[in-house]
C-alpha cells in the first residue's frame, strides 16, 4: 500500500478534478502488477496494474489507495475489471467520497465473493486527495493559502520590496505547489505591485495553473505579463459595476471575466463557486494580505502553508493577513493538524483553519 501511495502521490497535479490513485497487485509474495491513474479520461490505477499482472491476477491481492469505482465515468467501473480478473482479495486505503461510488465499489466486490479490507493507511490516502475529497462532495475548489513571511510576519519591506522573502529551496517548493494546483489566485494589488506571471518555473518542467485575479474594478492593465504570457488561461473575478470598456479590453487579451455580485467588493464565496463550475478543484491563494484576510474572514481557506524566513524586517510593511481582526484571543481562528518542516533556511508551517 505504501508503494501504491508513493506512485499516486507523484501524479499529484496532473489528474485535474480526478483523485490520484495507486495500485499494486501481489501474488504469493511477488509483485505482479503496478499502476497509477495519470490523467483524467485515461485508465484508472487498477486497470493499468491488472493489465500488467495479466493472468497472474487470478487469486491475487489487489492493494489500491482508493475504493475501486463502481460507476461509468469517462472510463468503465474498476470493480468489474477486478471481478473479471478473478482477484481473490482487495485491500483499500479509503472509501471513494464521490457520491456515485461511496461504498458501492466495496459492496459490489464483496457481493461477488471477493474478500475486501478497508482502512490500511487510510489517513495518508485521505490527505493525499484532500482537494478531490472537498471538490467531489461540494463542487467547490480546495483553497490552499500560501505565503512567505519574515519572522515578524511581514511579506515585504516598507518600500514594497519583496524579492525575496524566502530562500531558493522554499521557492522551488512553491513552484511544486503551483504544479499541484489547478488554479492560482492573487488580488489585483499584488498583480499591480509585482506584475507576476504566476507560472510554474521549476528546475524541471511543470504544469501551469489557471491564473485568477480578484479585481473588483478591473484595474489590471491589459499589457500585464499575465496577459502577455499564454501558458495558462486567465480568469478575472470582478463585480457587476466594473467598466464594460475595461472588460472588453481585457477580454480582447484573452482573459475570461466573471462578475461576482453587485460590488463594491467581489463576492468571493460566489467566485469560488464559479471556479468550481469551471472544474478547478484546487486553488493556491498567493496573497496579498488583504485577499488573504478576506478569504480567511469568510471561512473560505481550507489549508494554510506559511514559509517563515529567519529574518526581521520591521517598519510599516505589508502583513500576510490584513483584516479587521477579532477582539478576543478566544475568537481567533485556530489551526488543526499543524506540521512543521525545515526547507533550506526557512521553516514551513502548515495547518487547517477551523471556523466557528
Ligand atoms: C478508481 N481508480 O484510479 C481513479 C478513480 O471519469 P472517470 O471514469 O475517470 O471517473 C472518475 C471518478 O472515478 C472519480 O471522480 C473518482 O470517483 C474515481 N476515481 N477510481 O477506482 C482510479 N482515479
Ligand atoms: Zn476506477
Cell of 114: 471477493
Rounded CA-CA distance 256/238 in Å is 11
Active-site residues, by number, are: 46
Q: 96: Cβ below 6 Å to ligand 1?
A: yes
Does residue 272 carry a pLDDT above 90?
yes
Pairwise CA distance, residues 259 & 195, whole Å: 22
Cell of 260: 461576482
* Terminal Cα distance for the chain, rounded: 36
Q: Which of 5, 8, 14, 19 to mutate to test the pocket of ligand 1 (most atoms within 8 A of CB)?
A: 19
Per-residue pLDDT reduced to its tens digit, 301-344: 999 999 999 999 999 989 999 999 999 999 999 999 999 999 99
Residue 21 CB–ligand 1 contact under 6 Å: yes
Say if ligand 1 is within 6 A of residue 73 CB.
yes
- Which ligand number lies closest to the CA of residue 40? 1
Question: In sequence order, which residues have a C-beta less than 8 Å from that of residue 231 and are 6 or more positions away?
Answer: 197, 199, 208
Q: Is ligand 1 within 6 A of the CB of residue 136?
A: yes
Among 31-35, 49-53, 203-207, whose mean pLDDT is lowest? 203-207
Which of 14, 46, 73 has most ligand 1 atoms within 8 Å of CB, for mutation? 73
Q: Which of 17, 14, 33 is closest to 25 using CA atoms?
A: 33
Give me the interface pTM, i.e. the ipTM. 0.96
Question: How far is the C-alpha of 297 from the C-alpha of 291, rounded, in Å?
Answer: 10
Nearest ligand for residue 78 CA:
2
User: Which pLDDT score, from 0 to 100, does residue 231 have?
Assistant: 92
Weakest-pLDDT range from 197-206, 256-265, 299-308? 197-206
Compute the distance from residue 56 Cα to the ligand 1 centre, in Å.
24
The ligand 1 atom nearest the CA atom of 72: 8
Query: Which residues fall within 8 angstroms of residue 189, CB to CB, at 6 or more apart?
Result: 288, 290, 291
Cα of 51 from ligand 2 centre, angstroms: 13
Q: Are 219 and 249 in contact (CB under 8 A)?
A: no
| pTM (two decimals) | 0.96
* The 22-27 sheet, strands edge to edge: 30-36, 22-27, 61-66, 89-94, 115-118
Amino acid at each position: 500500500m505504501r508503494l501504491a501511495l508513493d506512485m499516486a502521490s507523484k501524479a499529484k497535479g496532473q489528474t485535474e478534478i480526478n483523485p490520484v490513485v495507486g495500485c499494486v497487485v501481489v501474488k504469493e509474495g511477488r509483485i505482479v502488477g503496478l499502476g497509477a491513474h495519470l490523467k483524467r479520461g485515461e485508465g484508472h490505477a487498477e486497470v493499468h496494474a491488472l493489465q500488467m499482472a495479466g493472468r497472474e491476477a487470478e487469486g491475487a491481492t489487489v492493494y489500491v489507495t482508493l475504493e475501486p469505482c463502481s460507476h461509468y465515468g469517462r472510463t468503465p467501473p474498476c470493480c468489474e475489471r477486478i471481478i473479471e480478473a478473478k482477484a481473490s482479495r482487495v485491500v483499500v486505503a479509503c472509501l471513494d467520497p464521490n457520491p456515485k461510488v461511496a461504498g458501492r465499489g466495496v459492496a459490489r466486490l464483496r457481493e461477488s465473493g471477493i474478500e475486501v479490507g478497508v482502512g490500511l493507511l487510510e489517513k495518508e490516502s485521505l490527505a493525499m486527495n484532500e482537494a478531490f475529497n472537498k471538490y467531489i462532495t461540494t463542487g467547490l475548489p480546495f483553497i490552499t493559502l500560501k505565503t512567505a513571511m519574515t519572522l515578524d510576519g511581514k511579506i515585504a519591506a516598507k518600500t514594497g520590496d519583496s524579492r525575496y522573502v524566502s530562500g531558493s529551496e522554499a521557492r522551488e517548493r512553491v513552484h511544486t505547489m503551483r504544479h499541484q494546483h489547478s488554479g492560482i489566485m492573487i488580488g489585483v494589488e499584488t498583480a499591480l505591485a509585482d506584475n507576476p506571471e504566476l507560472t510554474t518555473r521549476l528546475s524541471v518542467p511543470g504544469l501551469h495553473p489557471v491564473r485568477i485575479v480578484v479585481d473588483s474594478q478591473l484595474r489590471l492593465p491589459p499589457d500585464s505579463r499575465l496577459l502577455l504570457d499564454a501558458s495558462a488561461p486567465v480568469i478575472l473575478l470582478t463585480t457587476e459595476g466594473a467598466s464594460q470598456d475595461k472588460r472588453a479590453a481585457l477580454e480582447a487579451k484573452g482573459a475570461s471575466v466573471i462578475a461576482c455580485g453587485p460590488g463594491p467588493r467581489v463576492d468571493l464565496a460566489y467566485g469560488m463557486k464559479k471556479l468550481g463550475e469551471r472544474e478547478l478543484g484546487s486553488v493556491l491563494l498567493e496573497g496579498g494580505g488583504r485577499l488573504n484576510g478576506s478569504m480567511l474572514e469568510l471561512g473560505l481557506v481550507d489549508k494554510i502553508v506559511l514559509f517563515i524566513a529567519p529574518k526581521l524586517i520591521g517598519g510599516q510593511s505589508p502583513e500576510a493577513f490584513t483584516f479587521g481582526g477579532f477582539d478576543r484571543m478566544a475568537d481567533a481562528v485556530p489551526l488543526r493538524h499543524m506540521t512543521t518542516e525545515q526547507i533550506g533556511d526557512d521553516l514551513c508551517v502548515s495547518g487547517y483553519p477551523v471556523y466557528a
